[in-house]
Structure 1
Amino acid sequence: MARKIIKWLIALLGGVIGYGLVLLVTSLVKFDFSKLGYEIATYVAAVLLFFIIFYLSSEFFIDRVRKLIDKLDSDIKKLSVLDVILGTVGFLIGLGLSYIAVKIISGIKIPIVVDILSVIIYITVIMVSMAIAVRRKDDLEAYIRRYKSAGTDATKKFLDTSVIIDGRILDALRTGFIDGDLIVPSFVLEELQFIADSSDSMRREKGRRGLDILNQMTHEFKDQVRVVDFEKDKKTTVDLALLELTKKEGGVVMTNDYNLNKVAGVKSIRVLNINDLSSALMPVVLPGERFELQIVRQGKEPGQGVGFLNDGTMVVVEDGSNLVDSTQHVEVTSVLQTSAGRMVFVKIV
């Protein structure tokens, strides 16, 4: 019903346009149809002609307008508040500049030329001003981030999947050493759910563990930990989407993913790595130090044995592959420290 009404309205608009065109033509050529006795017939013919044309074309117009509205609606939803503010500022600046320019050309003695130039100036200057203003958004966001970095850049912490599954962040929260907002983007939660539904039993266990830990965090620290809806492009990976979101919001990433840590460094995004925190709190083991160690299994390389310190640090024992399940007196030869963890290399003494 509504579509039929719109079709008739479009047809009526066509009739009005036909009538207006006859008025325009007669005023330009200064021809009086009444002298020929065809004045009424001319107007009726024009109105009927454009009425029929617009009615027959109404389906095309309706479909085009609907698609345009859908596209505009989709584009508007993608706009941030900053886009709207900058666009409005650009519009007002363009409006002011256009007014000044039109005043300058108003001295031209040909009215129709002035009118045409005025329309062109207004449209062009306003569009260019809006485009320039919106394109400076990155500079403005960078300035805002620098302004915030004076003391609040770490108040927003965005959690990735690995740090939730790891679980140590919950213990760190309980100690009270982590302050500020801990934000879990909706696409990170979706990845956790995907892992929890995996056909691989190990991945499934990790995913379920992550969901359990997140559930505990949101209940114990409901004023600090929250899941927030953020849209992610389907072609963008979760890690890249997390980094883009963190950069846009001016926060920091919390992770224990070694590769994500490196990529964030390349993008100049601050990272709080749980492994770095854990390593910093581990007891210091120095080259030359001696202690008792139980060798629990063989290492990856030929001749190596593997044991563990009380804090879980892996210890690689030179020539210890044949001494599995025995306790040996060892001496530290070197310590390897990375964001992925710490490894201690020892020899039997």
Structure 2
Amino acid sequence: DFETPGMAVFKQQNVDDFYEIGEQLGSGQFAIVKRCTEKSTGNEYAAKFIKKRQSRASRRGVRREEIEREVNILQELQHPNVVALHDVYENRTDVVLILELVSGGELFDFLAQKESLSEEEATQFIKQVLDGVQYLHSKGIAHFDLKPENIMLLDRNVPLPRIKLIDFGLAHKIEAGADFKNIFGTPEFVAPEIVNYEPLGLEADMWSIGVITYILLSGASPFLGDTKQETLGNISAMNYEFDEELFSNTSELAKSFIKQLLEKDTRKRMTIQDAHNHPWIKPLNSRQAMVKRLSVVNLENFKRQYARRRWMVSCSILSTVELLQRDCESDQEEEILRRRPRTRKRSSTS
């Protein structure tokens, strides 16, 4: 293994010599995740096999520099709410990331099985998401792919399960003075500045947290249209509302939290610190704390919509920055979205 500054060292040994590779846990277009056991310790991990792009002309697989970017970012991270990287191997066809095994399933899956959920309980999970994102942002790292599928639980069989943010395939270090623009992510959750091809920063993650919170409280998705184009149009036009039927038991504090995240102007949008200090997350007095305990999540609609969500093609646990993959997934999603009834009434758009 030779090392040049800034170049990730991937072990060139055979991963099978060190790990017992087990059942498949998930897959995407260019990656596959399997359970594995480290032979020397008996510890369990998740092995993410990422297909390498074999030539410049090819559109199959992930470019080496994209994989290196994901690995370099993961190597910097050590936080209770962020998935940990244990080891990296490489062979002719794949790079293999040995990651912390996060076996509690998706947060939304866990919540969909609850009988009732107060905003108080909901914010205990959202606060953990904020903790993880605050850690990333403190290092100048934007995740760029925050969505329900990437918010997992370490173990669901404990009183307050611990959130783990996963999938750093789109994550970038935001450098001061370097204009970074790109079009990527899952249409439903991307910020207006991504849609409009404007310079990107940490603010895009805050927008996504707003969308996630909206869905968590109501079951409805604020900008989701019948097609990818319509969804992106709704985002750019800020075409969303709090449907009275769906938000009848939602506190004004919760709505204000969402409104201040779904703010088109990145300079006015809440930062991660603002979100932490918002009274819905950190009540200023006993009245605000009481409101949170008495306000409930629309679980009935959440469960209905969540069941539909599960039908959607989800390769996202393994997403890479491949637009090709995104388009392929989006086309499948669109097909499913077209066949399903509207999730909510849309205010008319001119």
After TM superposition, the score normalised by the length of structure 2 is: 0.20
Larger radius of gyration: 1
**Higher relative contact order, chain-length normalized (CA < 8 Å, sep 6+):** 2
Of Structure 1 and Structure 2, the greater helix share is in 1
What TM-score, normalized to structure 1? Answer: 0.20
